[in-house]
């Protein structure tokens, strides 16, 4: 039937990076209004502060009330000496996900999956509880996005790392972001084809809110489900970009109403505005209505 396997899921439009070595930012991050926070142990933390940052993030995961926030921890890369220690510290505290940076092949994800699974077993946590966000920051990673995303069932999102990707490609990052157009399209297509979330890279100029809004609107049009932020002031502009048009909302309501009526009458086929409606269309309509309901948040 039209609603079988279909459920409204609260969208994650914004993901705020929070440096793992900043007690103030960590303490206050639940108040900034993002849908999700990413506690960062990688790029924002100097080598000399890695251990202290890990301890601080563990302390926050244990004691801070994150409310309904989706909490993700970005660990150091699989090629670093901090990778396994980061996982052993944070996985027992059951964040929603661990973001694995610089994933260039399925093997990077599978290594994380094995380690996380072993740690879950050691601590009596159901295997598969802590998800993986695979971060694609190299040309190879983007080209292999679908392989990486489909490498194990623990992966729940593909995320694009634009700063490292442009460096890997030897191109400059511009305000318009056209140098990332193909990469963004590939990541969004791969994620959506696998039923995963797709998170876009950060907008580096924290004072250019109009530029951020325009970029966020473009990635919404490409199929991204959320966008990363590096400053609390960016959250509002990202949320604005995800507000659907009223015409789209009106059509979504008609689709859901027609589908519910068809379900009640035992009909498996329904059309709205002359177009056939199936489960994916209903799922999209529910997502649109969820975004509309969150427009003031």
pLDDT tens across 141-198, in order? 999 999 999 999 999 999 999 999 999 999 998 988 999 999 999 999 999 999 999 9
Token digits for 123?
A: 């601590």
* Three-state DSSP class for residue 247: helix
210-226 average pLDDT score:
96
pLDDT given at position 288: 79
293 known member of a binding site: no
Burial 114-151 (b: 16+ CB within 10 A, else e): ebbbebbeeeebeeeebbbbbbbbbeebbebbbebbbb
What band does 297 get if pLDDT is binned at 50, 70 and 90?
low
**273 annotated to bind ligand:** no
pLDDT digits (tens, 9 = 90+) for 113-142: 999 999 999 999 999 999 999 999 999 999
Q: Return the domain boundaries, the chain.
A: 14-242, 246-294
Region 52-64 average pLDDT: 97
Q: Which residues, 6+ apart, have CB-to-CB distance to 165 below 8 Å? A: 136, 137, 138, 139, 141, 142, 180, 183, 201
Mean pLDDT of the residues in the chain = 92
- Model pLDDT for residues 76-94, shown as the tens digit of each residue: 999 999 999 999 999 999 9
pLDDT digit string (tens) for 239-253? 999 888 777 777 878
Angstrom distance (rounded) from CA 76 to CA 83: 5
Confidence at residue 296, expressed as pLDDT on a 0 to 100 scale: 66
CATH of domain 14-242: 3.20.20.60
Q: What is the mean pLDDT of residues 11-19?
A: 95
CA quadruple 186, 99, 234, 68: dihedral sign = positive
74 is an annotated ligand-binding site residue: yes
């Amino acid at each position: 039937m039209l609603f079988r396997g279909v459920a409204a899921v609260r969208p994650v439009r914004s993901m705020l990076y929070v440096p793992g070595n900043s007690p103030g930012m960590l303490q206050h991050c639940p108040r900034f209004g993002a849908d999700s926070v990413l506690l960062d142990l990688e790029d924002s933390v100097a080598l000399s502060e890695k251990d202290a940052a890990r301890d601080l993030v563990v302390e926050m995961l244990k004691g801070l009330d994150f409310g309904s926030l989706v909490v993700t921890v970005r660990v150091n890369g699989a090629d670093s000496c901090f990778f396994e220690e980061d996982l052993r510290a944070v996985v027992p505290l059951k964040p929603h996900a661990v973001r694995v940076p610089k994933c260039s092949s399925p093997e990077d994800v599978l290594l994380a999956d094995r380690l996380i699974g072993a740690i879950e077993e050691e601590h009596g946590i159901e295997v598969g509880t802590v998800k993986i966000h695979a971060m694609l920051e190299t040309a190879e990673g983007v080209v292999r996005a679908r392989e990486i995303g489909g490498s194990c069932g623990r992966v729940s999102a593909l995320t694009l790392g634009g700063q490292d990707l442009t460096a890997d490609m030897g191109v400059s990052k511009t305000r318009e972001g056209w140098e990332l157009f193909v990469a963004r399209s590939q990541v969004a297509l791969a994620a959506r084809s696998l039923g995963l979330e797709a998170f876009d890279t950060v907008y580096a100029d924290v004072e250019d809110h109009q530029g951020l809004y325009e970029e966020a609107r473009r990635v919404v049009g490409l199929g991204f489900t959320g966008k990363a932020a590096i400053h609390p002031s960016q959250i509002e502009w990202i949320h604005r970009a995800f507000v659907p048009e009223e015409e789209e909302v009106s059509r979504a309501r008609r689709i859901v109403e027609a589908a519910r009526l068809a379900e009640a009458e035992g009909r498996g086929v329904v059309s709205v505005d002359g177009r056939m409606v199936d489960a994916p269309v209903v799922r999209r309509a529910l997502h649109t209505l969820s975004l509309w309901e969150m427009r003031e948040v």
